[in-house]
Amino acid sequence: MYTDLFLYLLFSSFTIVSSLMVISLSNAVHSILFLILVFCNVAGLLLLLGAEFLSFMLLIVYVGAIAVLFLFVVMMLNVKKTSTNLGFFAIGPVGLITFFILSNQLLGVFNDFDTFGLKQKDLIWISWITEHNNITNIQAVGKVLYTKYSFLFILSGLILLVAMLGAIVLTMHQRTDVKKQRIELQLSRNFGGSIKFINLRK
pLDDT in tens, the chain (202 residues): 577 788 888 999 999 999 989 888 878 888 888 988 999 999 988 888 877 788 888 888 888 888 878 877 777 776 655 556 666 677 778 888 988 998 888 888 777 666 555 555 555 666 666 666 777 777 888 888 888 888 988 998 899 899 888 877 877 766 667 777 778 877 777 766 667 777 777 6
pLDDT the model gives residue 140:
81
The pTM score is: 0.55
pLDDT the model gives residue 49:
81
pLDDT the model gives residue 14:
93
Q: What is the 3-state secondary structure (H, E, C) of the chain?
A: CHHHHHHHHHHHHHHHHHHHHHHHCCCHHHHHHHHHHHHHHHHHHHHHCCCHHHHHHHHHHHHHHHHHHHHHHHHHHCCCCCCCCCCHHHHHHHHHHHHHHHHHHHHHHHHCCCCCCCCHHHCCCCCCCCCCCCCCHHHHHHHHHHHCCHHHHHHHHHHHHHHHHHHHHHHCCCCCCCCCCCHHHHHCCCCCCCCCCCCCCC
pLDDT the model gives residue 51:
79
